A and B are shown apart, each in its own frame.
Chain A
Amino acid sequence: MRALISQRLIILAVLALVIAVLPFVFPSSYYFRVASLVWVSALAAIGLNILMGQAGQVSLGHAAFFGIGAYAVAIGPAHFGIPSWAALLLGAVLSAVLAYLVGRPILRLKGHYLAIATLGLGVLMALVITTESGWTGGPDGMPVERLSLFGWRVSGSYTWYWVTGGLLLLGTWIALNLDDTPTGRAFRALHDSEVAAQVVGVDVARFKLQAFVIAAVYASFAGSALAFMNGFINPDQAGFIHSVELVTIVVLGGLGSVVGSIVGAAVLVTLPQALTVFHEYEHLLLGLIIIVSMIFMRNGIVPSLSALLSQRGRS
């Protein structure tokens, strides 16, 4: 038990340290921007990982919730005069409610059916955002009013680096703690065997639904953060490709591993930036790196590496 707690604290401390130290080595604010994108993607991925890695359910439409969060902070202030911070919370509530309503029937589905149902949800959301151009600005997107808190206007890559970094720390802390609660244990039981979980008295449908709602709220916050950071939002962020990207981050980093989600996000966000040097071969190399890492690190980067290292340590 003691070991568990300290491990959690170490992860958080290391993450905080990395966030605090990176600015000293960044040569320009472009790096702050890329790092902020990593934090935001990681936040969404940690949420999705609770659903995928811990509760063992696939969502191929997760960008829908990311989109709700993003458009909530865009539409709320622009059309209803709601303050930005309230729109942020409203987006999270909306995401949670939608996840609850939609999750109730579709989480009864299994395997491919669940994947298809969530895929449908994602496509529908992207379609609504694209066609309701009176509200959303249509396919070209819409501007987002800057977030201001107590008269302080939150803008600039530097500021957002700290805000998103803080959000990520908070999200990581919650996810790590969740692991060790009855809910977290129920999630893991679900992941290992639904039948066994049911037999020992876990309310399978309820816990699946809980995981789905938690994941939706994470994505919503990440979406809002990105919208504020960019000052502009378009339907790509709610689209299918973005859903796939989130799933890729989770799988690449390691299912069920919170640190894995952060590492996965770091790889998937920074790699395309680093590969621009190769211009025409950029996509080829990106694909190749992902394929190779999936072949040699089947459980994801973090679980595979830690297994390898602990094996070395023992022998």
Chain B
Amino acid sequence: MKSKVNLKVLMAAGVMGLGASHGALAQDTIKIGSVLSVTGPSSFLGEPEDKTLRIYVDKINAAGGVGGKKIELVIYDDGGDANKARTFATRLIEDDEVIAMVGGTTTGSTMAMIPVFEDAKIPFISLAGAIEVIDPVRKFVFKTPHTDKMACEKIFEDLKKRNLTKIGMISGTDGFGASMRAQCVKVAPNYGMQILIDESYGPRDSDMTAQLTKIKNTAGVQAVVNPGFGQGPAIVTRNYAQLGMTNIPFYQSHGVASKSFIDLAGAAAEGVRLPAAALLVGDKLPENDPQKKVVTDYKQAYESATKQPVSTFGGHAYDGLFLLVEAMKRANSTDPQKIRDEIEKTKGFVGTGGIVNMSATDHLGLDLSAFRMLEIKGGDWNLVASGS
């Protein structure tokens, strides 16, 4: 009797794997896939990305689609789990048969998915930050967000202008913080920067006074740089003010480029500088700025559709989607290989993150001008005039 039960249960378990529905494959649509961290610890990145893709795919379809064909968007939520992301990537290719992918919220999930897309020869435009995504260059992998290396360079460029060369660093040990810290240490000598002290904190730590006191007591520190994202940098900023260190210039990274950082850090954020995309200061950009129209339009579209403040992360998804759409229009085809070739040929594409010029050796296509140096004044972002 008992063995019979086992058999039944096992069969049920096996059949369960087939439960996932098989979407009908319409010939007159273009299937684009996406795997995003809509829930989980990276949801503050994934959620705006998810909304942006949905808003703009609807807009594109309402305007007649691409080359007369409507876009069908398939989005899966990996919950921030790289292993799940990889399974969904396989599903997008094998089961949904997408012709391109815009997604991959975190570097971890992107790196896990890269082999799947490379093997299947399907273009993959990643929304993750770290430079490993595109360095070394992989044939089918592109990305839209600025790299952490560029953020370090932008900060060091600004420090150099201010004649500050001796710095202290305090970094988060999360993926973003650790990766950016490594890049900063690597490029520091190019800008004549000397890192006198290098501290770190865990992503869930609630007090960083100990590390900051050490930095404060290190003789000769002229400025402090804090690579990190999430809540950590806001706590560091608060502690920084509590320890009366505000006379030492303090730099945050593009990882905190959202309004919630100013809300969390409060008055302590005054005077903090950070590199960020033009999107954050769209209304403050001069009229002749080439990105002005794109960023104000995106901000307006996003905020009116979601009733939530715009963030640069959603902007990355916007850039990724339109890089792909433009490439499909130029290729006049839905052949993944041809689309890939056209993405690589992108020149002068104006996105929310900057002006993109791709090449066979550069699958990001942004330069330092894509970053604006901002300073927080009066609880808002302000452009730092060049030369100050």
> Which residues of A pack against B, CB within 8 Å?
6-7, 10-11, 14-15, 18, 21-22, 25-31, 33-35, 37-38, 130-131, 133, 138-141, 143, 157, 226, 230-232, 234, 236-237, 241, 259, 262-263, 266-267, 270-274, 276-277, 279, 282-283, 301-302, 305-306, 309-310, 313
Contacts and interface: CB of A to CB of B under 8 A. Distances in A.
A141 B17 contact: no
Contacts of A141: 82, 108, 111-112
B128 to A, nearest CB: 9
Interface size class of B (residues with CB under 8 A): 35 or more
B107 A22 contact: no
Which 4 A/B pairs are nearest by Cβ-Cβ distance? Answer: A266-B13, A139-B175, A30-B94, A28-B94
Contact of B3 (A7, A38, A138, A272): A7
Interface string B41-67: 000000000000000000000000000
A302 B6 contact: yes
Given A273-B17, A276-B20, 13 more contacts: A14-B6, A22-B14, A26-B18, A27-B95, A28-B94, A30-B87, A30-B93, A34-B87, A138-B179, A139-B173, A140-B178, A236-B108, A279-B75
**Is chain A's interface secondary structure helix, strand, loop, or mixed overall?**
helix
B39 interface: yes
Given A140-B107, A140-B132, A140-B175, A31 B17 contact: yes
Given A18-B14, A140-B179, A310-B5, A283 B39 contact: yes
A277 B84 CA distance: 16
Contact of B90 (A26, A30, A282): A30
Contacts of A11: 3, 6
For A26, A30, A266, the residue with the greatest tally of chain B CB atoms inside 10 Å of its CB is: A30
Nearest to B96: A30
Given A18-B11, A22-B14, A34-B17, A29 B94 contact: yes
Contacts of B3: 6-7, 10-11, 14
A232 B112 CA distance: 6
A240 to B, nearest CB: 12
Contacts of A37: 83, 87
Contacts of B10: 14-15, 18, 259, 262-263
B16 A274 contact: yes
A272 B76 CA distance: 11
Contacts of B90: 29-30, 33, 157
11 contacts: A138-B175, A140-B108, A141-B108, A230-B86, A241-B81, A259-B10, A267-B16, A270-B16, A273-B17, A302-B5, A302-B9
A131 B173 CA distance: 7
Contacts of A21: 14
A263 B8 CA distance: 11
Nearest to A6: B3
Given A140-B175, A230-B112, A266-B17, A306 B6 contact: yes
A274 B20 contact: yes
A310 B14 contact: no
Contacts of A313: 1
B115 interface: yes
A147 B175 CA distance: 27
B91 interface: yes
Contacts of A18: 10-11, 13-14
Contacts of B26: none
A259 B114 CA distance: 35
Interface string B1-42: 111111101111110111111100000000000000001000
A11 B5 CA distance: 10
A268 B242 CA distance: 47
A313 B91 CA distance: 41
Contacts of B81: 236, 241
Contacts of B22: 27
A219 B143 CA distance: 35
Contact of B7 (A14, A22, A139, A271): A14
A39 B317 CA distance: 35
A26 B18 CA distance: 7
B341 interface: no
Contacts of A14: 3, 6-7, 10
B130 interface: yes
B210 to A, nearest CB: 17
Nearest to A313: B1
Given A140-B107, A313-B1, A273 B11 contact: no
Contacts of A259: 6, 9-10
B108 A35 contact: no
Contacts of B76: 276
A30 B14 contact: no
